[in-house]
Chains A and B, each alone.
Chain A
Amino acid sequence: DTGVSQDPRHKITKRGQNVTFRCDPISEHNRLYWYRQTLGQGPEFLTYFQNEAQLEKSRLLSDRFSAERPKGSFSTLEIQRTEQGDSAMYLCASSLGGQDWADTQYFGPGTRLTVL
């Protein structure tokens, strides 16, 4: 257990529905990241936050995806009008966020999304 928690762990939804996932980072960590991972692939970066500011978004993050970190603590990732291609494991990670490039990211257990 790295100290990063995600909820729910599994989500099954029908195509076209909206889903929201939550991530609680390690408490003293300033940075929070979202990744998506499909079977046989490495995690793909989606977006990240420094405190409450969203600093970067991947082009993978279509308009249907939105992420927030309103108080610089927990974060939510919402997917609107889900599509079958959204089925994946959604991983959250956090890090201290210092200037040191050895800013190790610690991952949560992930939310597995299945879109029927």
Chain B
Amino acid sequence: GQNIDQPTEMTATEGAIVQINCTYQTSGFNGLFWYQQHAGEAPTFLSYNVLDGLEEKGRFSSFLSRSKGYSYLLLKELQMKDSASYLCAVVSGNTPLVFGKGTRLSVIA
């Protein structure tokens, strides 16, 4: 079976740093994606990791440890517009993306 776990909700302060964790158990692994989804809108691509380590893209970074089945998304210098759901999704074998339930992030002043 395939299982992807993320915290349901998180709250952080504007200007701060937040880390959103994702653990996965899948049959096969060919990469992990992070998507951002604002309420009522489509998911938008943030990052892709297939090798262990940290990928940095501006204020957003994503980390992967394949041996631990673990990833995190790091958001720096939080802005109010970062309030959204963050979806972790895994590609395994030829199966299209398997998504976690998402983490709803609220950024407060």
Contacts and interface: CB of A to CB of B under 8 A. Distances in A.
B12 interface: no
Interface residues of B, number: 24
Contacts of A85: none
Given A40-B102, A44-B99, 19 more contacts: A2-B44, A41-B101, A41-B102, A42-B4, A42-B99, A43-B43, A45-B95, A56-B95, A101-B30, A102-B48, A104-B33, A104-B48, A105-B33, A105-B45, A105-B97, A107-B42, A107-B44, A109-B41, A109-B42
29 contacts: A2-B42, A4-B42, A40-B101, A41-B101, A42-B4, A42-B100, A42-B101, A42-B102, A43-B87, A43-B97, A43-B99, A45-B96, A56-B95, A91-B42, A91-B43, A101-B30, A101-B91, A102-B31, A104-B33, A104-B48, A105-B33, A105-B96, A105-B97, A106-B45, A107-B35, A107-B42, A107-B43, A109-B41, A109-B42
B42 A108 contact: yes
Interface of B: 4, 30-31, 33, 35, 41-45, 48, 50, 87, 89, 91, 94-102
Q: How would you classify the secondary structure of chain A's contact residues: helix, strand, loop or mixed?
A: loop
Interface string A1-31: 0101000000000000000000000000000
